[in-house]
Chain A
Amino acid sequence: EDQVTQSPEALRLQEGESSSLNCSYTVSGLRGLFWYRQDPGKGPEFLFTLYSAGEEKEKERLKATLTKKESFLHITAPKPEDSATYLCAVQSTGNQFYFGTGTSLTVIP
């Protein structure tokens, strides 16, 4: 069964305390893996797309990496404005999109 699992469900960090979010997936052929950020009351906001194992992408304090079975979103020296829910999604070769239930990140000043 195709599925995406994110861990942890919730994460509280002190400002400046780096950490990683995990997204593990089982899918019948991966076309792409996507990371999104969602703020309360808003739609998800695109962050990264990764297409193949070994690929990495960076944007400000965020860095996404991809292996054959999982992806990590590394957050370096987070700030309170990084507080949000981070969602991972995969696109299968059947062109279905599967989302994880997200990691709720809280960064404390």
Chain B
Amino acid sequence: KAGVTQTPRYLIKTRGQQVTLSCSPISGHRSVSWYQQTPGQGLQFLFEYFSETQRNKGNFPGRFSGRQFSNSRSEMNVSTLELGDSALYLCASSFLLGTDLYNEQFFGPGTRLTVL
């Protein structure tokens, strides 16, 4: 079974630009979550999508948005990039055991975003 894939693996952008990151979950997983990982803050939850609907959202500004497609693939967009957005962006997919009860999240390798 193929794992979670993320593209691109590395990105360099300049302040003010926007960026779109892509995540393909494990086949059969309908829940996709996005995280930002930085050395100082660790992993911080951005949002979670399930069946094309955003179900949960972390404490990030509206510049961070996402969507999920009918095949469960997900994209994350960051507009008006700031220097502080430089981070590893991780996507994780999950198969729900029951209502909102997760067994485990499988993470992709991440997209390393550098904002200059």
Contacts and interface: CB of A to CB of B under 8 A. Distances in A.
Which range contains the number of B residues in contact with the other chain? 20 to 34
A95 B109 contact: no
Interface of B: 4, 33, 35, 41-45, 48, 55-56, 58, 90, 92, 100-110
Which range contains the number of A residues in contact with the other chain? 20 to 34
15 contacts: A34-B105, A42-B109, A43-B90, A44-B43, A45-B107, A49-B102, A49-B103, A87-B43, A95-B55, A95-B100, A97-B35, A97-B105, A99-B35, A100-B42, A101-B42
A31 B101 contact: yes
Interface of B, secondary structure class, is strand
B39 to A, nearest CB: 9
A26 to B, nearest CB: 16
Interface of A, secondary structure class, is strand
Contact of A46 (B41, B48, B105, B108): B105
Interface in A56-78: none
Contacts of A101: 41-42
Contacts of B44: 99
Contacts of B55: 95
A96 B47 CA distance: 9
Contacts of A98: 45
